[in-house]
């Protein structure tokens, strides 16, 4: 392995357990709004939320939809699985949009205050810092939410730079995002490596921008479709690489 000076690392589901924290937060949101009034089985709501959320984030990363559309639609769609709520949406789309925003605000507040991280996250970040690497967070997450998550999980002080797509004006996997990240971090391509769990946005995006990559294969159903510099299944494995 060649010598690197800078580490680009994804945050959500690479270091921060976004999925695990969101599962808890979604249940809390369901209770907060007493959604059992509309759903005989909460699993119907949860399952549709996850399907919708995955689809929307994929489209958002490609620049096909806006942040505002994502925030509303990821709750509008699963809520409208309920016939009663669907009727309310049809009767007053603007009022229902406001309701979806309320649900989203509560959900994001619950989410962003959760401390859960991926196993080995603190150990890896401590190791990288002790080794003298400059560490730069590269995320498509929303500005205000990401900083709350960083504070909640205790990883904020490990980063030299926090690079967000909202500031870059473009999402991963666009090469323009990585150009922006290199400029903001004052890092060089040849001595920078990207770590991430999403093969499309993190790994292919960085690779096509000319960076080396470590694919954290957290999701067993997401195999690498192109060669990568390294592939790991746990964060602790990265300590033996860098």
Q: Is 54 part of a structural domain of the chain?
A: yes
Both 235 and 166 in one domain: the answer is yes
Share of the chain above pLDDT 70, in %: 100
Amino acid 221: pLDDT = 76
How many CA atoms lie less than 13 Å away from 7 in the CB half-sphere? 23
| 168: pLDDT strictly greater than 90 | yes
User: Are 150 and 184 contained in the same domain?
Assistant: yes
202-211: string of b/e by CB count within 10 Å (b at 16+)?
A: bbbbbbebeb
Confidence of residue 219 (pLDDT cuts 50, 70, 90): confident
Q: In this model, does residue 186 exceed pLDDT 90?
A: yes
In this structure, is residue 143 part of a structural domain?
yes
Mean pLDDT of the 180-206 span = 97
Residue 136: pLDDT band by 50, 70, 90 thresholds?
Answer: very high
Pair 125, 220 in one domain: yes
pLDDT of residue 156: 95
On whether residue 129 sits in a domain, the answer given is: yes
> Quick check: 80 pLDDT over 80?
yes
**Per-residue model confidence (pLDDT) at position 95:** 95
Rounded mean pLDDT, 164-192: 96
Domain-ending residue, one of 95, 112, 129: 112
Q: Which domain holds residue 226?
A: 6-17+116-239
187's enclosing H/E stretch is none
Is residue 166 within 8 Å of 146, Cβ to Cβ?
Answer: no
pLDDT, position 230: 95
Mean pLDDT for 83-88 is 94
pLDDT band (50, 70, 90) for residue 223: confident
- Alpha carbons 37 and 26: distance in angstroms, whole number: 16
Sorting pLDDT into bands at 50, 70 and 90, what band is 211? Answer: very high
Please report the pLDDT score of residue 222 as a whole number.
80
User: Does 214 reside within a domain?
Assistant: yes
pLDDT at 40 exceeding the cut of 90: yes
How confident is the prediction for the chain on average, in pLDDT? 95
In the three-class reduction of DSSP (H, G, I as helix; E, B as strand; rest coil), residue 113 is classed as coil
């Amino acid at each position: 392995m060649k010598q690197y000076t800078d580490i680009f690392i994804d945050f959500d589901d690479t270091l921060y357990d976004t999925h695990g924290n969101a599962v808890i937060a979604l249940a809390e949101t369901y209770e907060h709004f007493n959604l059992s009034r509309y759903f005989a089985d909460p699993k119907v709501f949860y399952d549709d939320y996850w399907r919708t959320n995955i689809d929307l984030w994929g489209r958002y990363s490609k620049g096909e939809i806006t942040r505002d559309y994502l925030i509303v639609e990821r709750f509008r769609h699963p809520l409208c699985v309920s016939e009663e709520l669907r009727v309310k949406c049809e009767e007053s789309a603007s009022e229902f949009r406001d309701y979806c925003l309320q649900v989203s605000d509560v959900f994001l507040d619950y989410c962003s205050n959760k401390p859960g991280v991926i196993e080995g996250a603190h150990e890896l970040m401590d190791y990288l810092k002790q080794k003298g690497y400059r560490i730069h967070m590269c995320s498509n997450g929303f500005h205000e939410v990401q900083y709350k998550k960083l504070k909640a999980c205790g990883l904020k002080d490990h980063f030299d730079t926090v690079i967000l797509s909202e500031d870059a004006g473009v999402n991963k996997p666009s090469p323009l995002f990585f150009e922006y990240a290199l400029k903001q971090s004052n890092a060089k391509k040849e001595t920078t490596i990207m770590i991430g769990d999403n093969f499309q946005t993190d790994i292919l995006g960085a690779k096509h921008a000319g960076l080396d990559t470590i694919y954290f294969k957290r999701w067993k159903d997401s195999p690498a479709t192109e060669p990568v510099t390294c592939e790991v299944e746990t964060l602790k494995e990265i300590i033996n690489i860098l």
